[in-house]
Structure 1
Amino acid sequence: MDELWKKITIVLPKPDDLIEARYLERSAARAFFDLGPIGTGMVYGREYMVARDIIKGLKPGDKVMAKVLESENEEGCVELSLREAGRDLVWLEAEDLMRKKEAVELEVLEANKGGLVLEWKKVKGFLPASQLKTSHYPRVEGGDKDRIFQELKKLEGQKLMVTIITMDPKEDKIIFSEKGAESSDLKELASKYEVGQIIEGEITGVVDFGIFVKLEDGLEGLSHLSELDWSLVQNPHEHFKIGDKIRAKIIGIEAGRVSLSVKALKPDPWVAAGTKYNKGDIIQGRVLRFNKYGALVAIEDGVSGLSHISEFGTADRMREKLEIGKTYPFQITLFEPKERRMTLSYLGEDAKAAEAQKTE
């Protein structure tokens, strides 16, 4: 008996321990295993039935991993489970793959509106659409969910290289990512570029959160919604088309992912605004949108700030007083153009505010 076997068997096993067992024989609905100095292990009852195909394939002397269910049963044997051990080993392997960020090739079983279903070691896992590599990401104008689903269905039956990014054995849950599996290739391609570099490329995708730009074969960059223009861009599809050529500045490179800014090549409107406005000024501002903090208000294209919800009391009152797209009188209460920060106070529709605006 080798030294490793001695080290494993000198420790008395406890329930849930994984131990190595040497197959002896089977009789009726029972299988017996040699556990060395510990004694004899037994698989029987329901555990025997679910593992019978494995047991039938064993020869005397074969070693298997087993999980301890009971340290000593009524017959003086250590009660074992081969099924539970197999399950635990699968999750241990999954944890090892996740830690090492190793990729595995898996077939896509089916698609749903959120992503793809894959199976690894008889455990079904999920690959969210957001974790697909750029060449597989469904680029659908308007973000139509039915069309996105149809694009995802085209991947059914294909084999993808993926990594495990999240796992929960208790919930039988595995989350995969295709981005992690391609990162090494992307890192090599992206290493040719530098932050601050100006690139010119072709728009290969327009999505709700930005645009994809081809830098070279196999490498794309993403210009996020907030980096498309100094003014608020709510629908990229209205401003950009696939196939158009565009210039952008590289503002970030991380793990092979290239971040681009289109607006960085345009004049910063805050520079000019810094010479025109001051704290305390009363101006006309156009309401761009609402969020949980208040109303985003623009005093000119690309120069906007927040009118806090506390100015109105509640969100409902804010929506009663303001309408998106309309212009109202505000007073600048904070103005820091270098930091591109501004807050505004709503003045209402009273005559005093209107008169103040006329004399501006």
Structure 2
Amino acid sequence: MLSNKNEVVSANPNIGSTVEGTVVARERSALYIDLGVFGAGIIYGREYFEAKELIKGLNVGDKVFAKITEMENDQGYRELSLKGASKDMSWQKLRDIKEKGEIVKVKVTGVNKGGLLAVLDGISAFLPVSQLAPEHYPRVVDADKQKILRELQKFIGKTLEVKILDLLAEENKLILSEKAKAEEQTRETLKNYKKGDIISGQITGIADFGVFIKFPITAKTSEDDSEQNTDLSGEALAKEEKAGIEGLIHISELDWQLVENPAEVVKVGEIIKAQIIGITNSQVFLSLKSMKENPWEEVEKKFKKGDTLNAKVLKVSSFGAFVEVLPKIRGLCHVSEFESEEKMKEKLSVGQMYDFEVLLIDLKEHRMSLKLVK
């Protein structure tokens, strides 16, 4: 990685070396560069016209990088070329942008399965899917790669505001982040929230691992919500209406019972209440099940180790059978309680009632282990 100008500029320049200078004069077909201790340089003739578009943006006093094509001509100037050196200039400019944390605009030129492709100051750039802003992240329930690719293709031709996440000039790598742009604002807004707070939010996306929820609810989202806008007030709410905070409700936090498909619990666009269970930097984690009565409290009252209960088999998998002990409470009869998976499937049928012995009740982990009574 080019960490400073000394890695770009040659200490003992020769033909082909890159030097840094200051524009001191400009004529119709020549650009004069002060090279400091290395003398004076000139860009003219073919080199001038090949770099005409780049030269248009230069003014007296601007710093430039150029390559030496002739150590000294008849007029005593070092002849220079911006060709090739312009790439060095671009990397230096991009490095400055990264160090300052500036936000830049890029147009998406293409996609692949990993993210979006773009060009920034003549350098090819990549924006990984993981670095997209929450509102642009492709929410594909079954994580199908082709579906994700189709979602990403919708961004081709669009302009995004990004920050430079990383760059490695010698490998020609430039990594961008759209998410980083919003993180600072999100962190500031999150100062208004703490663990345990209950928020009203709208489901914005569903994935295999959980659901995304944006909050707080504003008048634009729900004019009829009598409790709208109670999460924030004043200036904080005004800022939040622009940015919005998007948090994640993990699949394990959707309900007290086992959830296999988040789409069976909530729908995109649905407005719900959820509790904040964690805030890490600009990430917010919430729980929907904490808003519901904990059915495991009934387990402690009704059952203890060694009890026998009659319950229905809900599902049989390779590692055991899930049994409905109480509404929304499932126990597991592990496959190890049988000689083999085949034997288990011979003895248990989905939908049928059987007697089971309680082997273990773990209220903290919400687990209940069972054994078939023979």
Normalised by the size of structure 1, how large is the TM-score?
0.62
Displacement of 1:194 in angstroms is: 2.8
Change (3 A) 1:134 1:34: closer
Letter in 2 for 1:122: G
Pick one of 241, 246, 252 that aligns with 1:226.
Answer: 252
Distance 2:136 2:179 in 1: 10
Q: How many residues align?
A: 317
Pick one of 36, 51, 55 that aligns with 1:53.
Answer: 51
Contact conserved, 1:198 with 1:248, CA < 8 A, in 2? yes
Percent identical = 35
Q: Deviations over 1:202-260 (max 9, x none)?
A: 32322223222232354233212232123332321232212333221012334444321
Displacement of 1:125 in angstroms is: 1.7
Q: Deviations over 1:140-180 (max 9, x none)?
A: 45445444444333322221111122333233222222111
Change (3 A) 1:265 1:59: closer
Corresponding residue number in structure 2 for 1:156: 156
Contact conserved, 1:196 with 1:251, CA < 8 A, in 2? yes
Letter in 2 for 1:107: K
Residue 210, structure 1, aligned to residue 210, structure 2? yes
Distance 2:268 2:358 in 1: 40
Change (3 A) 1:92 1:304: farther
Q: Cα RMSD between the aligned structures?
A: 5.5
Corresponding residue number in structure 1 for 2:225: none
Distance 2:53 2:360 in 1: 76
**Secondary structure in structure 2 of the residue aligned to 1:155:** coil
Change (3 A) 1:263 1:126: same
Contact conserved, 1:32 with 1:40, CA < 8 A, in 2? yes
**Secondary structure in structure 2 of the residue aligned to 1:221:** strand
Distance 2:10 2:117 in 1: 43
Corresponding residue number in structure 1 for 2:20: 20
Residue 242, structure 1, aligned to residue 268, structure 2? yes
Letter in 1 for 2:273: R
Distance 2:98 2:247 in 1: 26
Contact conserved, 1:306 with 1:342, CA < 8 A, in 2? no
Letter in 1 for 2:167: M
Distance 1:37 1:336 in 2: 77
Q: Deviations over 1:332-357 (max 9, x none)?
A: 9987543x287989xxxxxxx86xx3
Contact conserved, 1:221 with 1:260, CA < 8 A, in 2? yes
Residue 199, structure 1, aligned to residue 199, structure 2? yes
Q: Deviations over 1:232-291 (max 9, x none)?
A: 323212322123332210123344443211122234455555674559x9x99988877x
Change (3 A) 1:330 1:37: farther
For structure 2, the residue ranges without an aligned partner over 5 or more in a row are 1-8, 25-30, 72-76, 219-240
Q: Deviations over 1:95-144 (max 9, x none)?
A: 44334433211112233444322211112222233322232233445445
**Secondary structure in structure 2 of the residue aligned to 1:186:** helix
Q: Deviations over 1:46-70 (max 9, x none)?
A: xx9799426995999986324689x
The 5 A counterparts of 1:140-151 are 140=140, 142-151=142-151
**Secondary structure in structure 2 of the residue aligned to 1:135:** helix
Normalised by the size of structure 2, how large is the TM-score?
0.60
Q: Deviations over 1:17-51 (max 9, x none)?
A: 86424689xxxxxx9977444568899xxxx9799
